[in-house]
Structure 1
Amino acid sequence: MHAHRLALRQAGFSLIELMISMVIGLVVIGAMFAAYVGSGLSSRNTRAMSQITEDASIALSVMRSAIAATSYIVPEGSDATGFLSATGNSGRDNTLSGCNNTFEDPSATLGTLDCSEGDGPHAIAVSYEADAQNSAVSAGGVPLDCLGNEIPDSGGVRPAYQRFYIQDGALHCRGPGNDSSAALVDNVIDMRIQYGVACTPAGVPVSPCSEPEQEGRVVRYMDAAAIRGADTRLFDWAVSVRLCVTVASADNVLDTTTQYTNCDGDKADAPDGDSDRRMIRSFTTTIMLPNRQEGHL
């Protein structure tokens, strides 16, 4: 009896028991590894989405501020008819223009901007009088352009002439405080712009209103090519701007190349083909141009 009990105490696991234990252990290890890999991929995608959202937010915020100020002037007083008057004409003529591609020469004056041929990321140019109400200011209280440079004084006013366009996969800006453009936001790969054009009152033949109550209201959205093909004076009758930017992640974060939804709402292939595994998203906003309601009538 004593020998039998000693034999039982010395007996180990059987081969079947060992194999079952190994399988269970491998399953547990595999589950832990899959959870670890999944957590890493999720974290990587989350960081990429945060970067995309932040880049889009900065791009739209800066452009919204500049575009919304289009035609703004600082009033000095009123004339005999009761209408506001201002120094110069910086807030009235040639305050908005655009292209369905980049500008041929971004240094040209707003009224003489020509467009590069073909269709590509759109470009927009705006002009307004800068002050502390519509612009960030320096420590000395001087309004700053889109790149943070002081806007030069011109006869007592500071005309802000801002141009935005896509170059080398980044949103570029050229303002009056610098002699060349500079990248404002990286990873912006496309920009699409439409202009909400109001009808014109009686006596203005560009886009006559079918009903008097339509004056000053958006009656159609047109891109820059359509406006330039019809009559460039329609830029003067734009009272809103629909702006869309497409932003990509800085790195390849997806397992495979994936289609994205572009600014037109269509599925599009990644720009760089099968090797492009970036996450890409499009963001749209509509900007009202309040200073133009009466400025062009």
Structure 2
Amino acid sequence: MKPPKKVFLYQSGVSLIELMISITIGVVILGAILAVYSATSSTGKQSETATRMSEDAAVAMNYMAGYIRMAGFSFPQANVPVNTAVSGTGTVQVNDSNFAGAGVRGCDAGFSNPTVSTTLSLTCNSGTGTAAISVRFEGDAYNTGPSGVNPTDCLSQAVNAATSSDFNGGPTYSLVESRFYVKTGANSGTPELYCGGNGGGSNFVAQPIMQYVESLVFTYGVADDVSSQVVTSYLTAAGVDLLPGSVDQRWSRVVSVKVCLVMRSEMPDQNTPGSYINCAGNSVASTDRFLRKAFRSVVTLRNRGALSS
């Protein structure tokens, strides 16, 4: 009887070198996938942040524009011709409405006394900083958000004070005043757009209305005199203050306002320091990795008409 044949089983596998090569290739592929995912995720996050900044800027811009557009508005008296007369160093408009003063007053570096009760007593900070603006107009339940039967300021506070008419001193009306500026929030520690108004007996105590507004810049389109509707130049607030005449005469020449605000992202969403174009049109470094973007608009004062050159 023949002995059974011996069967030899040979084990097959990979060598250590082949295993190391496979692991290396896998790590490279995984790293590439992670890099693509990280870049896509970062780009998507930045895109979402930019969209949110644009939406917030639109809300803030539209809110301020609504008040700036009304600056100087007052209901004209019936059967009173609009005439002009020369007084002092400039042409002034003869009163034909309850409110005849300047509807807008600004400072390039902010107000040094933002809660002062009288607009003509507002003073400006020296040096550089974010701008501030104050607007005044005759309000009613239709051109503001009503609070009962009274108009309201920018904080929806009822303006109860009765102001004597500039036309003949007899009837009274509601003079609405709102002041917009940027400062760091006491609770949030972030830059915020604030507004203070003359309603509710608050004495212009401001409250934040939009977070992450980092700066404001206003330039003013002025006419040759208060009777003209044609913008002949755009000036800073300091430039308007250098015009001849009284404060009311200078600022009554404003026909339109260029508004620029810079929004900042909530979180430092950039992987590396970047840059942005500021309100002056210059490229500015953003070393803290926060996204920033400037938004612009031009607002024509409703009472002044709108012709520019």
TM-score range, shorter chain: 0.7 to 0.9
**RMSD, matched Cα:** 2.8
Question: Structure 1 residue 247 and structure 2 residue 263: aligned?
Answer: yes
**How many matched pairs?**
271
In structure 2, C-alpha distance between the alignment counterparts of 1:197 and 1:234, rounded to whole Å: 9
Q: Which residue of 2 aligns with 1:189?
A: 214
In structure 2, C-alpha distance between the alignment counterparts of 1:13 and 1:80, rounded to whole Å: 103
Q: Which residue of 2 aligns with 1:73?
A: 74
Please state how far the C-alpha of 1:286 moved relative to its aligned partner.
0.4
1:154 aligned to which of 162, 167, 174: 162
Please state how far the C-alpha of 1:94 moved relative to its aligned partner.
2.5
The change in CA–CA distance for 1:142 and 1:200 in structure 2 (over 3 A counts) is closer
The 8 Å contact of residues 73 and 103 in structure 2, kept in 1 or not, is answered as: no
Instruction: Give 1:265-280 correspondences, 5 Å limit.
Output: 265-270=281-286, 274=287, 276-280=288-292
Instruction: Give 1:65-214 correspondences, 5 Å limit.
Output: 65-75=66-76, 78-79=78-79, 81=81, 89-90=98-99, 92-108=100-116, 109-138=118-147, 140=148, 142-154=150-162, 157-168=173-184, 169-177=191-199, 178-179=202-203, 180-200=205-225
The change in CA–CA distance for 1:31 and 1:132 in structure 2 (over 3 A counts) is farther
More helix by share: 1
Please state how far the C-alpha of 1:82 moved relative to its aligned partner.
8.5
Q: Mean Cα displacement is larger for which, 98-107 or 44-53?
A: 44-53
Q: Which residue of 2 aligns with 1:256?
A: 272
In structure 1, C-alpha distance between the alignment counterparts of 2:6 and 2:223, rounded to whole Å: 106
Q: Deviation string for 1:30-66 (max 9, x for gaps)? A: 1222133223322332332133223312221111000
Q: Which residue of 1 aligns with 2:91?
A: none
Please state how far the C-alpha of 1:145 moved relative to its aligned partner.
1.9
Please state how far the C-alpha of 1:141 moved relative to its aligned partner.
5.6
The 8 Å contact of residues 103 and 115 in structure 1, kept in 2 or not, is answered as: yes
Q: Which residue of 1 aligns with 2:14?
A: 13
Q: Which residue of 2 aligns with 1:225?
A: 238
DSSP-derived class of the 2:179 partner: strand
The one-letter code matched in structure 1 to 2:259 is L
The one-letter code matched in structure 1 to 2:265 is S
In structure 1, C-alpha distance between the alignment counterparts of 2:274 and 2:124, rounded to whole Å: 32
Please state how far the C-alpha of 1:224 moved relative to its aligned partner.
0.4
The 8 Å contact of residues 194 and 210 in structure 2, kept in 1 or not, is answered as: yes
Q: Which residue of 1 aligns with 2:50?
A: 49
Q: Which residue of 2 aligns with 1:37?
A: 38
The 8 Å contact of residues 94 and 111 in structure 1, kept in 2 or not, is answered as: no
The change in CA–CA distance for 1:196 and 1:53 in structure 2 (over 3 A counts) is same
The one-letter code matched in structure 2 to 1:286 is V
